Amino acid sequence: DAGVTQSPTHLIKTRGQQVTLRCSPKSGHDTVSWYQQALGQGPQFIFQYYEEEERQRGNFPDRFSGHQFPNYSSELNVNALLLGDSALYLCASSLAAANTQYFGPGTRLTVL
């Protein structure tokens, strides 16, 4: 049983560019959450998707957007990249009715 997978593993972009990160949830899970983890900090909640809709959102600007597909996989898009967007981006999946989340290994984004 595959766990949560994320791609790519690492990514380097320059300021002003746009990036798309991808996540496949654990088998049987229908809810995907995204988190940003800066170096030395705990993960910060970006948003959560369920039934292809954004269900909850953290304190992140509109440059951060997402999408969930009918197969429950998800994308995180970040526009107009800033140096401060450099971080580990984590995807977590869960069942809608449950509160326990299972995390992927993350995508390390570096903005130069």
Partner 1 sequence: DAKTTQPNSMESNEEEPVHLPCNHSTISGTDYIHWYRQLPSQGPEYVIHGLTSNVNNRMASLAIAEDRKSSTLILHRATLRDAAVYYCILSGGGTSYGKLTFGQGTILTVHP
Q: Confirm or reject binding of residue 103 to partner 1 (CB under 8 A).
A: yes
| Nearest residue (CB) to partner 1, 50 versus 79 | 50
Q: Specify the residue for token string 């390390």.
A: 108
- Residues 8-27 as x/- pattern, contact with partner 1 by CB under 8 A: --------------------
Could you tell me the smallest distance in angstroms from the CB atom of residue 33 to partner 1? 7
Checking phi first, is residue 103 left (phi over 0); if not, alpha (psi -120 to 50) or beta?
beta
Among 11, 20, 30, 58, binds partner 1 (CB under 8 A): 58
Total residue count of the chain as it appears in this document: 112
Are 10 and 78 spatial neighbours (Cβ–Cβ below 8 Å)? no
